[in-house]
Amino acid sequence: MGFFITFEGVEGCGKTTQLRLLKERLEADGEKVVATREPGGCPIADQMRAILLDAGNSAITPLAELLLYAAARAQHVQEVIVPALERGETVLCDRFTDATVAYQGHGRELDLDVIGQLNALATGGVQPDLTVLIDCPVQVGLSRALSRIEATSGAREERFELESVRFHERVREGYLALARAYPERFVVVDGSGDVARTEVLVTAALSGRLQGGR
C-alpha cells in the first residue's frame, strides 16, 4: 500500500502551497504521487464542492453541510484515494477527515461522536499515515486567503472566509486538540513565516517519517 499524507489547517495557512512543494520534492525523488483535495477530488465530488463552498449557499443547514461533506468524501475515497494507495502511490490530500472535525465539530459545534461515525462510514476506515497541520494565527491566514480571492475572478469559493473570526479561532483550536490527541499521526508546523520558511519546517518535520524512513 502507498503512503497517505493529509494537509490541514485554517484558511490561508499554506496547505495548497506546501502540498505542491512536497509533491515536487517527492517526484524529484522518483516517487509516484497523486495530489488531491477535499471537498472534491473527482468530478462527482467536485459538484458537491461547488454547493458547499458557494457563498450564495449561506442558508445550508449545518446537518446538510455535514452530510454533503460525507457524501463527497465517500466518492473521493473509493474513486481516487483507495485505488492510488493500492497501486502503491503516495497520496497527498489537501484537507480530509480532520477538517470535518475542526470545522463542523469545533467550528459549528456539531456532535463530535456523530462526526466520528460519519467519517468512519465515509472513509471505510481509511486513515492518513501522516497529517501535516500548518498552524498560524487565523488573522494571518484569513488575510492571505482574502488577498488571493481579490486577485482571482470567476467562481468564488469563499463561504468559509466570510465566517466570523471567532469561528476560525474554534477551528484552529480544534485542529490543535486533534494534534494533541493523535501525536503519532500529526506533525504540527508553524505556518506564520514566509513560504520558504514553512517549506523548511515541513521538510524537517517529515524527515524520517515518510515511507521507507526518508
Closest residue to Mg ion: CB criterion: 16
Task: Name the residue nearer to ligand ATP (CB basis): 113 or 194.
Answer: 194
First to last CA, the chain: 17
What type of residue sits at position 208? G
Distance CA 198, CA 204 (A): 10
Please pick, from the candidates 8, 16, 29, 177, the single residue that binds Mg ion as defined by CB under 5 A: 16
Q: Determine how β-strand 130-135 pairs with β-strand 4-8.
A: parallel
C-alpha cell at 81: 484515494
Q: How far is the CB of 214 from Mg ion (least distance, A)?
A: 25
Concatenated DSSP letters for 17-45?
Answer: HHHHHHHHHHHHTT--EEEEESS-SSHHH
Q: How far is the CB of 105 from ligand ATP (least distance, A)?
A: 17
List phi, psi (to 5°) of 111. -65, 120
Residues making contact with ligand ATP (CB under 6 A) = 9, 11-17, 144-145, 148, 191, 193-195, 198
Q: Which residues of 175-205 are buried (b: 16+ CB within 10 A; e: fewer)?
A: bbebbeeeeebbbbbebeeeeeebbebbeeb
Interface stretch with Mg ion, choices 8-16, 66-74, 99-107, 142-150 (CB under 5 A): 8-16
Numbered residues of the known binding site for ATP: 9-16
Q: In the stretch 160-199, what mask flags binding to Mg ion with x, by CB under 5 A?
A: ----------------------------------------
Numbered residues of the known binding site: 9-16
Interface stretch with Mg ion, choices 12-20, 44-52, 126-134, 149-157 (CB under 5 A): 12-20
Binding partner of residue 63 among ligand ATP, Mg ion, none, CB cut-off 5 to 8 Å per kind? none
What type of residue sits at position 99? A
Interface stretch with Mg ion, choices 7-15, 53-61, 166-174, 206-214 (CB under 5 A): 7-15
Specify whether the CB–CB gap between 82 and 72 falls below 8 A.
no
